[in-house]
Amino acid sequence: MRRFTTGERPPQFVIFSFDGGGYADRWRLFLDTAKASQATFTVFMTGTYFVPEASRTDYTPPGNEPGKADVAFSKSDEQLATLLTNLNRAVNEGHELGSHAVGHLCKGTSNEVGATWTATQWGKELDQFTSLFQRAKDRAPELIGEPLLADPNTVEGFRAPCLEYNREALIPALADRGYRYDSSAIATGVEWPTHDDGLWEFPISTVYFNGDRTLTLDYNLWLRFNGGKDRPEVAPAMRARTTEVYDTVLASVLAGNRAPLVIANHFNNWSGNAFNPATADFMADACPRPDVQCVPFTVVVDWLELQTPDYLNNMRAEPTGHIDIPTNGD
């Protein structure tokens, strides 16, 4: 953590980020991998996981009936206790918790969604995330026998469900509530963050297959590789291909503009669990390298705010990292 001088190469930050945070075994996989790999990461929590199914109507999504959500609520106190235990371990080991809103409401499934919400509606959603998280925190001593270390009132980062949002509505709502960054935009390659309207914007990195832009996000790679079909029999090959893509983009950005590489994922079991093991493989290989720092968004924000505007502008002026991935039948 220091100010760099003009012409000095910055650290190569790799930011592993996960949307949702509901799968207990995925928490264990990445907590264990990170601990062994000198890595820390960010999880954008989905608010329904803090709410028991019996209390689902306590959530009132903007423009929809109470209890409407596209993801599950907590099925039992035991499930919630497991989540809170994992959150305490995560905070103890230096990981960051961000917000992924509450109901994960997306186009085609709900009356009104993030892409159409006003700033007032986004504010309601963000405030409910905080209050429902706080309710779970208040229950932690009863459920796990100790306080919850995470503080919902100090969450600093956000990613919009399905990356659907109206910037003119969302960003003011985030800034008014003290958020420091957003990671809902899509890059044209691997780009340096910008600071606009009071927030740092970390666009999700992208690569190109035959000129077709694809996010470094597990779901989008799944669509690229086989159209999102559930084919567990090819999970080993898909796992290897995913890790190969991550290796290629890291090598390119290390030799190129050194912009923070944003790897966006989910705690999922898609297509025979092809993607979480691939991300863990990449984490285990990349993060111990002396020229790589695998850290949460907030650490990069702190570093960015130490740098001079001239230094950051010079880095942004470098090529944005249009990375072509050799096709392998993709």
Q: 265: part of which helix (H) or strand (E)?
A: strand 261-266
User: What does the pLDDT read at residue 321?
Assistant: 67
What was the pLDDT predicted at 107? 85
Percent pLDDT > 90 in the chain is 89
Relative orientation angle of helices 167-176 and 119-144, to the nearest 10 degrees:
50
Per residue, the 3-state secondary structure of 16-31, as one string, reads EEEEECCCHHHHHHHH
| Residue with token string 């290989």 | 285
- Which tens digit of pLDDT belongs to each residue from 264-320? 999 999 999 999 999 999 999 999 999 999 999 999 999 999 999 999 999 998 877
CA-CA distance, 283 to 215, in Å (whole number)?
Answer: 18
| pLDDT score at 329 | 64
- Residue 55: inside a domain, yes or no? yes
State the residue range of the domain holding 161. 12-316
CA distances 127 to 19, 52, 61, 283, Å, are 19, 18, 11, 33
Q: What is the pLDDT of residues 113-123, one digit of tens each?
A: 889 999 999 99
Six token digits for residue 38: 């000198």
Look at residue 327 and tell me whether its pLDDT is greater than 80: no
- On whether residue 198 sits in a domain, the answer given is yes
Q: Identify the band that residue 64 occupies on the pLDDT scale cut at 50, 70 and 90.
A: very high
330 has pLDDT over 70: no
- Quote the pLDDT of residue 101: 97
Judge whether 5 lies within some domain.
no
Query: How far does CA 145 lie from the centroid of its chain?
Result: 29
Is the pLDDT reported for residue 173 higher than 80? yes
The answer, yes or no, to whether residue 148 has pLDDT greater than 80, is yes
Q: Judge whether 166 lies within some domain.
A: yes
Mean pLDDT of the chain: 94
Instruction: Specify if 100 maps to a domain.
Output: yes
| CA-based nearest residue to 253, from 264, 262, 265 | 262
What is the rounded end-to-end Cα distance, in angstroms, of the chain? 40
pLDDT (0 to 100) of residue 324: 84
Number of domains present in the structure of the chain: 1
What CA–CA distance (Å, rounded) separates 315 from 146?
Answer: 45
Domain annotation covers residue 216: yes
Mean pLDDT of 205-221: 92
Whether 3 maps to a domain, the answer reads no
Residue 323 lies in a domain: no
Return the CATH number at 105. Answer: 3.20.20.370
Q: Residue 4: is its pLDDT beyond 70?
A: yes
d(CA 164, CA 183) in angstroms, rounded, equals 12
> What's the predicted TM-score (pTM) here?
0.95
In the beta sheet, which residues pair with residue 215?
206
Residue 7 has pLDDT above 90, yes or no: no
- Tens digits of residue pLDDT in 41-50: 999 999 999 9
Give the distance, in angstroms, between the CA of residue 125 and the centroid of all CA atoms in the same chain. 18
Q: Average pLDDT, stretch 236-243? A: 94
